[in-house]
Amino acid sequence: MIKILFSILCFLPFLVQAQNLPTMLAVPGGIVNIPLGKTDTAAPSVTFQAKKVLVLEQDKQWVAVVGIPLKIKVGQHSIQVKSAEKERKIDFSIADKDYPAQYITIKNKRMVNPNPDDLKRIRSERPAINKALNTWSLQAVDSLNFQIPVIGRLSSPFGLKRFFNNQAKNPHSGLDIAAIKGTDISSPAAGIVINTGSYYYNGNTVFLDHGQGLITGYFHLSKISVTDGQIVAQGSKLGEVGATGRVTGPHLHWNVYLNKTKVDPALFIPELSVIKKANIQSNTTAKE
């Protein structure tokens, strides 16, 4: 069995996990679970930074599950809560988190500095990707405890400051799991396939809708095993690990989005609740 290495997360006082909810980590790129009141009334509508927020039932209470952007300012923020009776806001605080740096060597220089034809392709792909990420369905979400989509080595955790060929790029937006090419990738939870395609940076890609703005993405696949509109159960095969798009080797890049915000996928895996140190150091070459 391949040894699994876990990413390191700081600010453990802000780490809280409840049944059916993701681990709470009140930092940029984390998640905040906010109680809204008893479920003897209809679920309220919640927004954060003008974006709709997932609301589910937990221990006879409505709870807002809020994705926190990586670029958010630390300090006090608030959600807006609207019910049939009234509108109110609930404040919460975000602490700072210093994500480490990672330096990656990409042999295909066009994956770092695309040429005009590459840029044209990248622009043409954005509408389909954005349409998937803007999906909002009203289906109830019962549990946010996911299964890990592939067994392998966690080669790059979420949030790393990224340098490709010594050029600063966007922070790492997901969780990388290195595995042998052809290893099965399975759905961590029930959902609907809302997009499949082959994209410049992401390679062969699958996006799933799990309800109320909770979207997951699976990148760099060698093979896609599902089709648009297909309903999948937890554990259903989505495809196989590959090395398509911008990569240095075969792995799954897994993204999770809440309220149109990329958050740390590790917070959705119960067995990762006890965080262990990753075998990752800054100033090393690693898989994208």
Q: Where in the chain is the domain with CATH 2.60.40.1590?
A: 12-94
pLDDT of residue 168: 86
pLDDT of residue 258: 98
pLDDT of residue 77: 98
Q: Where in the chain is the domain with CATH 2.70.70.10?
A: 101-272
CATH code for the structural domain at 12-94: 2.60.40.1590
Residue 187's closest CA among 268, 76, 111?
A: 268
pLDDT of residue 19: 55
pLDDT of residue 8: 29
Query: Residue 93 corresponds to which amino acid?
Result: S
C-beta separation of 245 from 199 below 8 A: yes
Regions in the chain scoring below 50 on pLDDT: 1-17, 273-288
Q: Which two tokens stand for residue 279?
A: 């075998």
CATH entry, 101-272, from 2.70.70.10, 3.30.470.10, 2.60.40.10, 3.40.50.720:
2.70.70.10
pLDDT of residue 277: 33
C-beta separation of 105 from 249 below 8 A: no
> Nearest 5 degrees, angle CA 14-CA 19-CA 24?
20
C-beta separation of 171 from 157 below 8 A: no
